Amino acid sequence: MFTAQPISSLNFNILTTRRRRSSGVPATSAENNVRWVLQKPNLGSWANRVGSVRAVISSEDKTLDSDSKPLKEKDLNGSLSSSSSASSGIDLRAVIKIRKKMREKLIDKIDDACESFINGIGQGILIQVVSEEIDPVTKAGKTVESTVRGWLPRPSDHPYIAEYGADFTVPIDFGRPGAVLITNLHSKEFFLVDIVIHNFSEGPLFFPANTWIHSQKDNPESRIIFRNQAYLPSQTPPGIKDLRREDLISLRGNGKGERKMHERVYDFALYNDLGNPDKDDLARPVMGGEERPYPRRCRSGRPPSKIDPSCETRVEKPHPVYVPRDETFEEIKQNTFSKGRFKAMLHNLIPSIAATLSSSDIPFKCFTEIDKLYIDGVMLKDEEHQSEGFLDNFAKQVLSIGDRLLKYETPAVISNRFVWLRDNEFARQTLAGVNPVNIELLKEFPIVSRLDPAVYGPPESALTKELIEQELNGVMSVEEALTNKRLFILDYHDMLLPFVDKINSLPDRKIYASRTIFFYNNSGFLRPIAIELSLPPTPDSPHNKYVYTHGHYSTTHWMWKLAKAHVCSNDAGVHQLVNHWLRTHASMEAYIIATHRQLSSMHPIYKLLHPHMRYTLEINALARQGLINGGGIIEACFSPGKFAMELSSAAYKQMWQFDMESLPKDLVRRGMAMEDPSMPCGIRLVIEDYPYAADGLLIWSAIKDWVETYVNHFYPDHSTIASDVELQAWWDEIKNRGHYDKRNEPWWPTLKTQEDLSGILTIMIWIASGQHAAINFGQYPFGGYVPNRPTLMRRLIPQENEPDYKKFLLNPQLTFLSSLPTQLQATKVMAVQDTLSTHSSDEEYLGQLHQSHSNWINDPKIIELYKKFSSRLSKIEEIINDRNKDVHLKNRTGAGIPPYELLLPSSGPGVTGRGIPNSVSI
């Protein structure tokens, strides 16, 4: 919000005179007296001035003219008696709800009192009601204008809501209001919750807003708020058709200039703000374009950097990055969790950790040192750069910090201390961990790379048939295992090998391109049987491929542990940069921008998607500022280092495909399911006990059915899809601007039928809700214990002809621990994972209608369908809970095995390891 300003800066005299002259109504004695109070120089403090204002209000209350009569409780509750007649028209009362700040300093309270008074005398908010009917004279919607009036508003049922009233008299033939225009005459913005117009025979008319209303001094244009009636473009009543078009034009902007923080302009830009060419070693290539394709982000329009004009100048923390005003976190989220917590974590906690540990940034020497993070904690230095009261007001709420002691919660994966060491747990997490979306059925043998052999050497894998059969212990041949769908693979070879040399050139950063083979045995367990770790060929070593198996004596056993750690490190990097950031955060940003630019807020598809867009642009902007940026947390703490976003771009180029973001299609593509029309969703899982897929299909099916019934309600036939100009422009912009670098791909779905639209929307809603939940909220429960899921490795595995091999033989545990992230790196990334795994107290979950959106649509049929959707999700929660108690489902139950709850729809606040928010909100 804008900084509170003195009352005199509100231009009280000018506004009062202008409004009175234009209306021909003389100033009341109250207004004249208040003007005198505000102007008198010798009244002293603000408190004295406000007290004088209140005294004027009290003394003048009985002498107010009829225009500024006090609001009565019955007025605000809508219990009005109609005074309509053929001559006088219909008397209406509009009730305006404005959200106040939750945490107010004294100056804010004084400012609120002044604003309340200004509103009370009709000088703060101008409101214009626009009819759905055309005025035959103006050829536009009929209008009637008033000001928000009434003295100090009555207390609302909600402690942070203020309610005001505005009275109108409209002609009998005015028609139904379709829009309201709001002009904010104050010097700063305010948050409008909604407007309700009373005294229509059909009942109250709702105008949901949940939006910031800019000050007229920042933008003279009034804000347009539409009624909660959904209209396709062709169905738009004539009186508000022009407003529909004007509102969309204002949201698109002109693509020029630097965006201001109060604006609501949605436009596309390249990822050209990740690096800072003007600083040493922080230059990063632009993401987006033929060489490094990427989805587009929200344009902020900052000037180019001095050294590289293709890059935008950065806004460094703690200064905010522009996002359209309504995309910013609401205050409850700022205060109780995300923005305050996320930014404090980046600006305060991470620097404090660095200050404490940087002088001794060393590896863990024993597992006990890791355990101390949960038992004893880390005593943080109280650095000067920390904001006053940080440790008291923030840190205690975050990670059990008290008296500068940082103590982490014990992550779920080590509820049984040694479960993580088992091969079965390593394999189980590919099906029920935080990244269960990369395992594939092994369909062909031998395994062959698709990379250019002239550059990357012979394409054949070192995982031979003989080696696999040896590890199968004669149970079956490779051919039988392939036929019976028993062999699976986690294959990061082709994705990572082009980056290995570049990453390994970074200090203390070592990586292999990995392949891991799993066997699904008769007991229902997935077991890792072989790991291949590859380096690019060199003249001296053209076959840099190393194969590791479990082994039955100490040396090979420790080698196997190191190989699994390298696989986990690769998995963590791909998870964070590809499956989490690219496939949910970055892809959703492009859909959200196009939705605001091309679909009116009264469009039924906008109304369907709106809950699934909440907070995404803001969290993405914060990530570009402190997580995925050059020198950010991801570069510092994950294997790819400074090449992290280049890896993400390469994955987008090679494998991202919109239609394959469908859960059923993705499972079939990976060979984890087979098409079967007799089964729900038309597929049958190859491994029945695949928790992510089994629970995910329940959620997917519920979303799909809800979306299909919704779409069919508004689009009775194919022709209505084709003729919807906003809808067609929306889909065209997603393909040709949001995903510009993939615009010519043949796999983009067409948008001609109800089935096409339902399929597209189901994918988007699934990505924003279920998919993001499944791969986000388990980050700390699984990654909070560094040995289970290291985010980087600092050493290659020592070979027999290398000096480090003798050190390994003497102390294999130290070799293992010294290969993991250092204490500083581990502590940083644990703080990030904890934050990213935390639900805000104002989270909006799938199927749960937030109170502020209770009147989101005026359609009883849709409300009924939504209730069915919500009820179905409640039943799904019961099904998942029952599955987690089934002893036959060994990937969910057993000694030390945490239940799979990442796709349980509901959750409370905090790190719960469950809950599906509507949107990508963290």
Catalytic residue among 566, 612, 739, 772: 772
What DSSP state is assigned to residue 149?
B
Catalytic residue among 580, 603, 612, 739: 580
**CA-based torsion, 453, 459, 462, 464: positive or negative:** negative
* Closest of 665, 517, 510, 638 to residue 581, by C-alpha: 638
d(CA 447, CA 450): 10
Question: 793 in helix, strand or coil?
Answer: coil
Task: Catalogue the E-assigned strands of 492-639.
Answer: 513-520, 526-534, 545-548
d(CA 419, CA 216): 62
Run of H or E including 809:
helix 804-810
Run of H or E including 146:
strand 141-147
- Token pair, residue 70, equals 């006090």
d(CA 861, CA 219): 39
Place of tokens 């005025």: 135
d(CA 386, CA 247): 43
* Closest of 63, 214, 217 to residue 151, by C-alpha: 63
Q: What is the C-alpha radius of gyration for the chain, rounded to an integer number of angstroms?
A: 31
The burial of 895, by beta-carbon neighbours within 10 Å (0-12 exposed, 13-18 middle, 19 or more buried), is given as exposed
Run of H or E including 182:
strand 177-184
3-state helix, strand, coil in the chain (%, to 5): 45, 15, 40
Q: How far out from the chain centre does Cα 212 lie?
A: 20
- Token pair, residue 874, equals 């409640």
Q: What is the C-alpha end-to-end distance of the chain, expressed in Å?
A: 22
**Whether 77 is catalytic:** no
H helical segments located in 670-778: 691-714, 718-722, 725-733, 754-766, 772-776
| b/e code 727-751 from CB counts within 10 Å (16+ = b) | bbbbbebbbebbbbbbeeeeebbeb
Amino acid at 791: T
H helical segments located in 78-174: 106-120
- Token pair, residue 292, equals 């490094």
- The answer to whether the bond into 318 is cis (omega within 30° of 0) is yes
Rounded (5°) CA angle 889-893-899: 110
Task: Catalogue the E-assigned strands of 291-446.
Answer: 297-298, 378-379, 405-406, 440-441
**Whether 718 is catalytic:** no
- N residues, the chain: 922
3-state secondary structure 339-358: HHHHHHHHHHHHHHHHHHHH
d(CA 283, CA 642): 10
Catalytic residue among 493, 585, 610, 739: 585
Catalytic residue among 348, 579, 776, 884: 776
Question: 261 in helix, strand or coil?
Answer: coil
The burial of 829, by beta-carbon neighbours within 10 Å (0-12 exposed, 13-18 middle, 19 or more buried), is given as buried
Rounded (5°) CA angle 593-597-598: 120
- Name residues whose C-beta falls within 8 Å of residue 400's C-beta, 6 or more positions apart in sequence: 377, 406, 407, 408, 409
493-504 and 644-655 helices, crossing angle to 10°: 160
**Whether 543 is catalytic:** no
Question: 18 in helix, strand or coil?
Answer: helix
Catalytic residue among 605, 703, 876, 922: 922
**Whether 262 is catalytic:** no
**Whether 772 is catalytic:** yes
Residues 571 and 435: beta-carbon distance below 8 Å: yes
- Token pair, residue 235, equals 């169905």
d(CA 97, CA 677): 51
Q: Among all residues, which ones are annotated catalytic? A: 580, 585, 772, 776, 922
